Amino acid sequence: MLSTDALLAELEPTAATLLERHLASAKEWFPHDLVPWSRGRDFEAGYEWDPSEVELSDEVRSALFVNLLTEDNLPYYFRTIEGMFGRDSAWGTWARRWTAEEGRHSIVIRDYLTVTRAIDPVQLERARMAQVECGQVPEPETALDGFAYVALQELATRIAHHNTGKLLDDKAGYDVMKRVASDENRHHIFYRDLVSAALELEPSGMVCAIERQVRTFEMPGTGIIDFDAHAKAIAKAGIYDFAAHHDQILVPVVLRHWGVESLTGLDAEAEQARAALVKRIERIGKAGRRFAARRAEHPERELATVS
């Protein structure tokens, strides 16, 4: 098994190529272009938010709240990524470019929400203070775990942003969320292909890391006030649930793109991990279908979780 330093050194040319591809495909965009400023007005002193100002379900408000607070937690994601990759070479350049791109996400979503008054600005700001003061983010134990986690997480975030946008029933809001989602997709592709390279270099270690990360995967949001209740609401609205996790992440990425079922040359531990991983994916798929059916029958019920 390679040391972390050796692994990063071996994969540095891949990171450089993926970074170049990322930069070459980047299209510059500006948050201010997407915000419907003419719909805004001053908040008078003592303003109290009234949910009836904007017709929006509680579930979609939950999604906007969690999506934005997760973006607000960027300082701690940066800390983890920089700690994992270091400051030098293509790794450091990637970490900083990624950070600069992520920074725009909270800017554009917050400006949109402030102008449209879609959620309570006071509650939102208090929650941001609490979230950033607490500074919790997942901290994968190894670089391979980190690769797997961010590959899954960027795609999950893309799906959540995009589905939230679709439910806003507002062209400007949809465009904001779609724009952010498309950045997340490009981040995902960087990490997804990094995992493919790591699978060639260190197949057993990478498979074990994928298994661990799928087993413990959670949408980002720990540390957000009332996160569990929001996560349930988000699942209930079909914005991010087991079915999406299975059908749009685990099957297309883990099974199809990384081809974990057909990898050869795994050691005994990785063989075991692969078997457990494939079984877990099946279970998540079944749970997704069950919950979706139950939701269709009893939309008022809360969702259970799969472990």
Q: Which of the residues 63 through 92 are near Fe ion (CB under 5 A)?
A: 71
Q: What DSSP assignment string belongs to 212-259?
A: HHHHH---S-TTSTTHHHHHHHHHHTTSS-HHHIIIIIIIIIIIIIS-
Question: Smallest distance, Å, CB 152 to Fe ion?
Answer: 12
Q: Rule CB under 5 A: choose which of 111, 175, 184, 241 binds Fe ion.
A: 184
72 in Cβ contact with 106 (< 8 Å) = yes
Q: Rule CB under 5 A: choose which of 61, 179, 187, 274 binds Fe ion.
A: 187
Applying CB under 5 A, the span of 178-186, 190-198, 268-276, 295-303 interacting with Fe ion comes to 178-186
Of 140, 203, 166, 149, the C-alpha closest to 59 is: 166
Q: Rule CB under 5 A: choose which of 105, 192, 212, 280 binds Fe ion.
A: 105
11 in Cβ contact with 202 (< 8 Å) = no
Applying CB under 5 A, the span of 47-55, 177-185, 214-222, 238-246 interacting with Fe ion comes to 177-185
Question: Smallest distance, Å, CB 157 to Fe ion?
Answer: 6
| Contacts (Cβ under 8 Å, ≥6 apart) of 267 | 204
Cα–Cα distance for residue pair 256/280, rounded to 1 Å: 15
Q: Rule CB under 5 A: choose which of 66, 73, 85, 102 binds Fe ion.
A: 102
120 belongs to the binding site for Fe ion (CB under 5 A): no
Cα–Cα distance for residue pair 134/136, rounded to 1 Å: 6
Question: 67 or 204: whose CB is closer to Fe ion?
Answer: 67
Q: Which of the residues 205 through 264 are near Fe ion (CB under 5 A)?
A: none
Residues interacting with Fe ion, by CB under 5 A? Answer: 71, 102, 105, 154, 184, 187
